[in-house]
A and B are shown apart, each in its own frame.
Chain A
Amino acid sequence: MPTLLLLGSNSDIGKACAYRFAAEGFDLLLATRTIDEEQQHLAADLRIRFNIQVNTLPFDAENQADHSAFYEQLPQKPDVVLTAIGYLGDPEKARTNQAEATQIINANYAGLVPILDIVAADMTQRKTGTIIGISSVAGERGRASNYHYGAAKAGFTAYLSGLRQHLRPQGVKVITIIPGFVRTKMIGDLPTPGFLTATPQIVANTIYKAYKQQKSVVYTLSTWRLIMLIIRHIPEFIFQRLSL
């Protein structure tokens, strides 16, 4: 049975992905900051429903020094690595509070690089594997409302793009997922237009399909691809005057 390493298994999108991949017979390595009762319930449920192996492992993107030991100690090496880690944070606070800004940068970009570099090296050696990273439309162009988050996501998107080029000759696939709005605890009750808002299940289906079809860059809800195309092409002298 193939194995999925899910980084951020308490993420709503991540949980939906766990069910989606489990339904296809994947064994699961669930990595999360805190292994609480709920994570244990999640693991039990997945085991019983799908007759698969499920392990829960502690993982914090910010503890970069531990990443290599974390990967070394996995009970089995994964065929697919998916990261659903992310932190929107408090954009206003981040403007003046360095700790908040750093946490946003770490959770969305800097803390993901060390672990994915380790995964990439291992997969290169094994000449097989797929890395799936969840970035965001926020990374397509920096906006006043959340530029630390946007910048970190932009960095992550660029990293995945480069990694994809680098690993292609090694037979390792890298997939970038770019969601728009998704109804999860990250955005809470924030009012968003319904037709632009996906559910975690929709995103999970898109991700699995992208994996099956070995896609490179996939937007969840394809309208977003068009919207971001337009936003990217708005001339800067106009863009800076907009409130987005």
Chain B
Amino acid sequence: MKLYNWGKSPSIDARLHLADSYSATNSTLNQLSGQPVIPRGNGRCYGDSALQKNVCSTLKLNKLLQLDEVAGVVRLQAGVLLEDLLSVLVPKGLFLPVIPGTRLITIGGAIAANVHGKNHHHAGAFGNYVQSFSLLTADGQVLLCSRTENKTLFKNTIGGMGTTGIVLEATLQLSRIETSYYQQQSYPATSLSHLFELFEQQHTQPYLVAWIDGLASGNKLGRGVLHTGKSCTREDLESQATPNPLQIHPPAKLSIPGIVPSWFLQPIVLRLNNGYYRWSNRKSIQHVKHYASFFFPLDAIKHWNNLYGKKGLLQYQFVLPLSSSLAGITAVLEAVKASRLCPYLVVLKRMGEHAPYAATDFPMSGYSLAIDFKYSPKVLDLFHLLDEIVIQHSGRIYLTKDARLPAAAFRKMYPAAVLHSPQIFRSLQSERLFDL
């Protein structure tokens, strides 16, 4: 079957093995007898991280195994979707300490990419809350890995992009919430340095994320809006007409069909960018948002990647150390501007201290910027330019969003990276990055 991820390219003819038990997963490996294979969750990475001729899907490993409500600990299979887990946790006042921008990813994908949310500066990445997991390795063993057992394998799997083996199940530390609502405050910034100042001023807020007007230039370059947020208490909600303080997310109602022409989005985005900035510039706005719209605004529309047409989208997400962030991000925005390509969505996040995991793990203390483009060959040229800026500023790009990074640039960004079982667990991405 044709298989591709969220950005739609590359796409390959692959065999998808759907195992519904650990023993079936193991027999899949046996049957492949040494052919390369890569684990796959919900295919929400953008490029080729979850692609290979043989792919082992975890989507049927979707069982919750144990929930200790008192200790706030859950043991569950790797193919459980965050969306599914949250609908069980939220009514019990439990939540995930780290939430990415979509709830449609699996636990395995969250571990393998060591995903981060808008609270990295406070809470770090997903891996911090993984107590242990069991991993099916290339030789067919199932190993329990934690901070005390099989320590190296534990570390190398978090942010390891599926190259150490298949996570079968995991035990996670949860957080507590009084309500499933968040208080969001928005602060407009007239330039990138202004935006950075706001980030540092608001550092004590648990959630921080900024939207940047990718079309602004000159002394307005990098203008945008910072959104801060924190979880609402019951008291905070009293003035609101919210019947159920622990309401779960509603199902997505809108879906974009796969037939939208690729010119569709650009004029809309151009107007929106401008309009949104003007609108939020009028005053700093405060409102209460449900977690669905606070964390997952994009999930309200299913298959929104279809808005980018048949060829899909490319995202460039990178992180720079704090000291070079302002200079590096300025240079990147200028290069984007000079390319005359349309940046559809530009998002800036602050990352905090980061515990070391796999050598391909992404986060570091500093700033991370993500820019979405409609697929075109010119965008690929631009990305080469951006790679150089990122390397110059001692940064790196996020592999789970990548579809094209050349091996040479990869080695500069991730000098310690190695493949753990190069014959068995490797994706198209590993083959590209490690020149296999």
A49 and B65 alpha carbons, distance in the complex (Å): 10
Q: In the complex, how many angstroms separate the beta carbon of A44 from the nearest chain B beta carbon?
A: 5
Q: Cβ of A49 and Cβ of B20 under 8 Å apart?
A: no
Q: Cβ of B88 and Cβ of A49 under 8 Å apart?
A: yes
Is the C-beta of A45 less than 8 angstroms from some C-beta in chain B?
Answer: yes
Q: Cβ of A44 and Cβ of B64 under 8 Å apart?
A: yes
Interface centre among B62, B64, B66, B77 (most CB of A within 10 A): B64
Is the C-beta of A236 less than 8 angstroms from some C-beta in chain B?
Answer: no
Q: Cβ of A45 and Cβ of B63 under 8 Å apart?
A: yes
Q: Is the interface of B mostly helix, strand, loop or mixed?
A: mixed
A48 and B73 alpha carbons, distance in the complex (Å): 13
Is the C-beta of A72 less than 8 angstroms from some C-beta in chain B?
Answer: no
State which residues 26-67 of A face B: CB under 8 Å: 36-38, 41-42, 44-45, 48-49
B82-108 Cβ-contact flags toward A at 8 Å (1 or 0): 000000100000000000000000000
Q: Cβ of A38 and Cβ of B21 under 8 Å apart?
A: yes
Residues from chain B with Cβ under 8 Å of A48 in the complex:
64-67, 88
Is the C-beta of B22 less than 8 angstroms from some C-beta in chain A?
Answer: yes
Total residues of chain B contacting the partner, CB 8 A? 12
Residues from chain A with Cβ under 8 Å of B62 in the complex:
45
A36 and B21 alpha carbons, distance in the complex (Å): 10
Q: Cβ of A42 and Cβ of B63 under 8 Å apart?
A: yes
Residues from chain A with Cβ under 8 Å of B88 in the complex:
48-49
State which residues 35-69 of B face A: CB under 8 Å: 62-67
Closest residue of A by beta carbon distance from B61: A41
Q: In the complex, how many angstroms separate the beta carbon of A198 from the nearest chain B beta carbon?
A: 18
With A48-B88, A49-B88 in contact, do A37 and B22 touch (Cβ < 8 Å)? yes
Closest residue of A by beta carbon distance from B62: A45
Residues from chain A with Cβ under 8 Å of B66 in the complex:
44, 48
Residues from chain B with Cβ under 8 Å of A49 in the complex:
64, 88
Residues from chain A with Cβ under 8 Å of B67 in the complex:
48
Q: In the complex, how many angstroms separate the beta carbon of A139 from the nearest chain B beta carbon?
A: 28
Closest residue of B by beta carbon distance from A50: B88
Residues from chain B with Cβ under 8 Å of A38 in the complex:
20-21, 23
Q: In the complex, how many angstroms separate the beta carbon of B123 from the nearest chain A beta carbon?
A: 25
Q: In the complex, how many angstroms separate the beta carbon of B148 from the nearest chain A beta carbon?
A: 24
A41 and B66 alpha carbons, distance in the complex (Å): 9
Q: In the complex, how many angstroms separate the beta carbon of A56 from the nearest chain B beta carbon?
A: 14
Q: Cβ of B63 and Cβ of A44 under 8 Å apart?
A: yes
B1-44 Cβ-contact flags toward A at 8 Å (1 or 0): 00000000000000000001111000000000000000000000
Closest residue of B by beta carbon distance from A185: B20
State which residues 233-280 of B face A: CB under 8 Å: none
A182 and B77 alpha carbons, distance in the complex (Å): 26
Q: In the complex, how many angstroms separate the beta carbon of B206 from the nearest chain A beta carbon?
A: 28
Closest residue of A by beta carbon distance from B21: A38
Q: Cβ of B65 and Cβ of A45 under 8 Å apart?
A: yes
A48 and B62 alpha carbons, distance in the complex (Å): 13
Residues from chain B with Cβ under 8 Å of A45 in the complex:
62-65
A37 and B77 alpha carbons, distance in the complex (Å): 13
Closest residue of B by beta carbon distance from A49: B88
A96 and B241 alpha carbons, distance in the complex (Å): 72
A126 and B22 alpha carbons, distance in the complex (Å): 42
Q: In the complex, how many angstroms separate the beta carbon of A37 from the nearest chain B beta carbon?
A: 7
Interface centre among B23, B62, B63, B65 (most CB of A within 10 A): B63
Residues from chain B with Cβ under 8 Å of A37 in the complex:
21-23
A41 and B79 alpha carbons, distance in the complex (Å): 13
Residues from chain B with Cβ under 8 Å of A42 in the complex:
63
A41 and B77 alpha carbons, distance in the complex (Å): 9
A37 and B169 alpha carbons, distance in the complex (Å): 13
A42 and B21 alpha carbons, distance in the complex (Å): 10
A49 and B66 alpha carbons, distance in the complex (Å): 10
A48 and B65 alpha carbons, distance in the complex (Å): 8
Residues from chain B with Cβ under 8 Å of A41 in the complex:
21, 63, 65, 77
Q: Cβ of B65 and Cβ of A44 under 8 Å apart?
A: yes
A38 and B62 alpha carbons, distance in the complex (Å): 11
A42 and B60 alpha carbons, distance in the complex (Å): 12
Closest residue of A by beta carbon distance from B22: A37
A37 and B142 alpha carbons, distance in the complex (Å): 14
Residues from chain A with Cβ under 8 Å of B64 in the complex:
44-45, 48-49
A21 and B20 alpha carbons, distance in the complex (Å): 21
Q: In the complex, how many angstroms separate the beta carbon of A208 from the nearest chain B beta carbon?
A: 20
Residues from chain A with Cβ under 8 Å of B63 in the complex:
41-42, 44-45
Q: A41-B21, A44-B64, A48-B88 are in contact. List 17 more A-B contacts (CB 8 A).
A: A36-B21, A37-B21, A37-B22, A37-B23, A38-B20, A38-B21, A38-B23, A41-B63, A41-B65, A42-B63, A44-B63, A44-B65, A45-B62, A45-B63, A45-B65, A48-B66, A49-B64
13 chain-A/chain-B pairs, Cβ below 8 angstroms:
A37-B22, A38-B20, A38-B23, A41-B65, A41-B77, A42-B63, A44-B65, A45-B63, A45-B64, A48-B65, A48-B88, A49-B64, A49-B88
Closest 9 CB pairs of A and B: A45-B63, A48-B64, A41-B63, A38-B21, A48-B67, A44-B65, A45-B64, A49-B88, A41-B65
| Chain A residues in the interface with B (C-beta under 8 A) | 36-38, 41-42, 44-45, 48-49
